[in-house]
Amino acid sequence: MAQDPMHNQLALWLQGQGASASVNETILALARSAVAIDREIRLAAIGRGQQAQTSENVQGEDQKTLDVVSNQIVMEHLAGLDHIAAMVSEEVEHPILPSAIGPQADQVVCFDPLDGSSNIASNCPIGTIFSILGVEGGDRKISEANILAASGKQLAAGYVLYGPATVLVVTTTRHVAMFALDPDGDGFMLVNDRLTIPETCSNWSINASYERYWDTAITTYVRECVAGREGPRGRDFNTRWSAAMVADIHRLFFDGGVFIYPALKKPGSETGKLRFFYEANPMALLAHRAGGRAIASGPDILDIRPTGIHQRVPVIIGSREEVDRIAALYG
């Protein structure tokens, strides 16, 4: 039997980080699902995948065929693992529970199967985001309340960026590492075992078309950056916006910067757009581990105690100096 390529560099790195074997197993399953999603994306681009259609998901948002297919792929890859007590997916209204549960079931896996789906048609970057939460094991069905209570106990977090190269960025107990998918089929190869976010930067990412809906803190911050070297910041800044948070956040590990999806003063977006469990929380842990910071409109995202599995929160993530500055503007 051919060796499972996922048991090469990714598995070795995971073993060295000291998380439990079952957490590592979940990450390897997610990595396998990423390989399958990567293939579906490439097949769709040449018209051999599922036909591109748009429907509506549980949150009333556009749902593309690849959203549905990716969700299915992640669920199937996690389904056989008896340490998974529940899954939370952007595409599914309620927690997904296994048909049988044993005492070893002590993980909740939260995921956004396809992030940035408005980029699919134009072949721009898209991603998958995941977070593994620890819950108490036991022969009992997990409830939504158990999941909410576990939000602060992230055992691992990561994302896959299906960009010019497909990369996996992950953290378990300590560092943030980056792997790239080998096009010759040898799985995820280690590229950098300690990603960091530069402390200072000259980039920010925000969808500026919503400017009229921003609060005073964000308006002030952006205005000061736009003023460049003539303004209070004394230097010029650049804007980058990909319409996929995975791509914009990935850039932070290289160039530094701050990614902002704020609360908006418009109906339905008062707490922003991005979801806590499978977008904000995992990205916040990655940023934190890499020396950056992540806040909502005030509190650190990692300190938020959510009240719903699809709860939206404002997201401000990036280089410490910039996030500190925005936090000070919130007072």
The residue ranges that bind ligand AHG (CB under 6 A) are: 61, 90, 112, 115-117, 207, 243-245, 261, 273
The item of Mn ion, ligand AHG, none sharing an interface with residue 9, based on CB under 5 to 8 Å by kind, is: none
The item of ligand AHG, Mn ion, none sharing an interface with residue 59, based on CB under 5 to 8 Å by kind, is: none
Can you spell out the DSSP letters for 49-81?
SSPP-EEE-TTS-EEEHHHHHHHHHHHHHHHT-
Beta carbon of residue 24, minimum distance to Mn ion (angstroms, whole number): 25
Please choose, from the candidates 23, 125, 143, 126, the residue with its C-alpha nearest in 3D space to the C-alpha of residue 83: 23
Beta carbon of residue 277, minimum distance to Mn ion (angstroms, whole number): 11
List C-alpha distances in Å: 91 to 3, 118, 228, 331. Answer: 33, 15, 41, 36
The item of ligand AHG, Mn ion, none sharing an interface with residue 188, based on CB under 5 to 8 Å by kind, is: none
Residues in contact with Mn ion, total (CB under 5 A)? 4
For residues 71 and 64, the answer to whether their CB atoms sit within 8 Å is no
Beta carbon of residue 229, minimum distance to ligand AHG (angstroms, whole number): 28
Between 40 and 90, CB nearer to Mn ion? 90
Between 116 and 306, CB nearer to ligand AHG? 116
Between 13 and 278, CB nearer to ligand AHG? 278
Q: What are phi and psi of 153, to 5 degrees?
A: -110, 70
Between 97 and 243, CB nearer to ligand AHG? 243
248 lies in the site for Mn ion, by CB under 5 A: no
Print the binding letters for residues 75-104 with Mn ion: x by CB under 5 A, - otherwise: ---------------x--------------
Can you spell out the DSSP letters for 28-41?
HHHHHHHHHHHHHH
Beta carbon of residue 8, minimum distance to ligand AHG (angstroms, whole number): 30
Can you spell out the DSSP letters for 120-189?
TTTT--EEEEEEEEE---SSS---HHHHHHTTT-EEEEEEEEESSSEEEEEESSS-EEEEEE-TTS--EE
Between 106 and 248, CB nearer to Mn ion? 248
List C-alpha distances in Å: 233 to 55, 323, 324, 327. Answer: 45, 14, 14, 16
Between 9 and 242, CB nearer to ligand AHG? 242
List the interface residues with Mn ion, window 104-133 (CB under 5 A). 112, 114-115
109: helix, strand or coil: strand
Where along the sequence are the contacts to Mn ion (CB under 5 A)?
90, 112, 114-115
